[in-house]
């Protein structure tokens, strides 16, 4: 399932906010709760450290958005705010009726998650422009999955509440008109 793991970056976060939009296209089933999926997000700083993790439950055809600054980076594990991040998303079925980014199992990976994000790019001589593109589907290795589960579990149990991103908001935010 190539679309069960997707990656994208957000950059120039010192210029303005970026957004992540997620939807469940119903590939796991078109009914609720059988077709529900979890979007498990892992936020990496430029130095490759997992800085935050969280999950968004998505019913079929559900659309949610996260602000990178206000939701994803709101409560990072470390106090330094990076100017860019990597966002990885693993799509899974619910385990025991809940979504948990520290308990993603290969057998629970599913198709049907679509993700888009906005980011800011420097334009030579004229400031910045915001773009919106889809996340890229990539192959998830067992070692990467084990690392993300382990680090997210550490964040959830030992980090005193830091490193848990904010909630997903219903609806979508896209690139702003210039």
Total of domains in the chain: 1
Residue 118 structure tokens: 């906005």
Contact between 136 and 5 under an 8 Å Cβ cutoff? The reply is no
Residue 70 lies in a domain: yes
Residue 31 lies in a domain: yes
Q: Name the pTM for this structure.
A: 0.90
pLDDT of residue 80: 77
Under the banding of pLDDT at 50, 70 and 90, the label for residue 177 is very low
Residue 115 lies in a domain: yes
Q: Residue range 140-169: average pLDDT? A: 88
SS3 70: helix
pLDDT of residue 178: 46
Bridge partners, 87 (sequence order) = 8, 43
pLDDT of residue 175: 53
Domain that holds residue 60: 2-166
Residue 107 lies in a domain: yes
Residue 128 lies in a domain: yes
Residue 172 lies in a domain: no
């Amino acid at each position: 399932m190539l679309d069960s793991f997707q990656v994208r970056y957000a950059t120039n976060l010192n210029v303005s906010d970026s957004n992540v939009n997620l939807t469940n296209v119903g590939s796991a089933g078109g009914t609720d709760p059988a077709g529900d999926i979890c979007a498990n997000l892992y936020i990496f700083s430029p130095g490759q450290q997992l800085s935050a993790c969280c999950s968004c439950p998505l019913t079929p055809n559900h659309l949610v958005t996260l602000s990178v600054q206000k939701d994803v980076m709101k409560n990072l594990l470390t106090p330094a705010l990076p100017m860019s991040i990597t966002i990885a998303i693993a799509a899974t079925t619910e385990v025991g009726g809940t979504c948990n980014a520290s308990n993603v199992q290969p057998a629970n990976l599913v198709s049907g998650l679509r993700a888009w994000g906005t980011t800011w790019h420097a334009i030579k001589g004229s400031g910045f422009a915001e773009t919106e593109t889809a996340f890229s589907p990539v192959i998830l290795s067992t070692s990467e999955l084990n690392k993300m589960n382990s680090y997210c579990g550490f964040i959830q149990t030992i980090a005193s509440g830091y490193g848990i991103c904010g909630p997903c908001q219903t609806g979508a935010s896209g690139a702003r008109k210039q």
